[in-house]
Amino acid sequence: MIDSGRPCRGGAPVLALHRQLSPINAGSWDFRWVPVCSSTEILLKQWLLQSPLMLRPRVVAARQQRWGVGQRGRVWRAPKGGVWLSAALPVVSDGPNPNNTGAGLLGLALALSLAERLEHAGVSVQIKWPNDLLASGRKLAGLLPGLVQRGNHLRLLRCGVGLNVCNAVPVGAAAVREFLPAATPELWTAEVLLALEACPNKLKDPENLIAQVQKRLWADRVRDPAGGGTWHIDGLTSAGGLRVQRGDECREWIRWP
């Protein structure tokens, strides 16, 4: 589906909250907001194609999405009351090295950054590798990381975020308002922006990033998605892959190409 209108300017309440939460170190964003769209990923891609020169990070947020883009291209609906956005952060000269930054590590950096924002607010969170956050064992957020390169040069960090706040959720999911009754989509959009801003610094120290994510892993065993039984989780690799073991057999699962 092609969206009939381009993203409109807006989001002043979100940016004001963003400044309040981090008045000294708050970054500056180019923010576009739409009441409804097919997918914020599509709108962000269009924006980047139309205006490729980026001086500041960009974000497209929607009150609701009809056909959000998830892992492996899966489609999902995102109703009113949640945080649904896609962001692009330019890579500065002293930023992550393209030789040691992959989409797997970026996804873990964002998962850890957002988990820390939630924990700071009082919500206990687990990270379900590679791209989900859980609260009380139920899905709270889904993340979609990606990299944009030009030749061998890493140009942009791309991140899609879906966070349940006060929207209706299906069985097996959770919303922030269950744990924080005063939570609003505007507040948690601002919190997500702060989490995104923290990602480049976390990528500079991948060893600590991996250690912090491992402390928050959701389980010690996992079922093989290909139907190959249950594996013991033996931690994460330096590239952000999941290391699993069954008897004498060891494997590394890499979800993000």
Please count the residues of the chain. 257
> How distant, in Å, are the alpha carbons of 7, 20, 38, 101 from that of 27?
21, 12, 28, 22
Q: For residue 66, what pLDDT band results from cuts at 50, 70 and 90?
A: confident
Rounding to the nearest 10 degrees, give the CA dihedral for residues 231, 236, 240, 245: -30
Buried b / exposed e over 209-237, threshold 16 CB at 10 Å, is bbebbeebbeeeebeeeeeeeebebeebe
Which pairing describes strands 221-223 and 249-253: parallel, antiparallel, or unpaired?
A: unpaired
CA dihedral 232, 233, 234, 235 (to 10 degrees): 180
181-188: list long-range contacts, CB under 8 Å, 24+ apart: 185/63, 185/81, 185/82, 185/83, 186/13, 186/14, 186/17, 187/17, 188/83, 188/163
- Structural element, H or E, at residue 109: helix 103-121
Distances (CA, A) of 189 to 5, 13, 45, 107, 165: 22, 10, 20, 18, 10
- Give the whole-angstrom CA distance, residue 199 versus residue 13: 23
Q: Which of 18-22, 135-139, 235-239 has the lowest mean pLDDT?
A: 18-22
Per-residue DSSP letter, 171: T
Tokens of 154: 């890493």
Query: How large a percentage of the chain has pLDDT more than 70?
Result: 86
CATH of domain 8-220: 3.30.930.10
Least confident of 36-40, 49-53, 97-101, 194-198: 97-101
More reliable by pLDDT, 39 or 9: 39
Edge-to-edge order in the sheet of strand 230-236: 221-223, 230-236, 242-246, 249-253
In the predicted model, what is the mean pLDDT of residues 155-181? 95
> Distance between CA atoms of 26 and 163, rounded to whole angstroms?
21
Return the higher-pLDDT residue of 2 and 209.
Answer: 209
Q: What is the pTM of this model?
A: 0.90
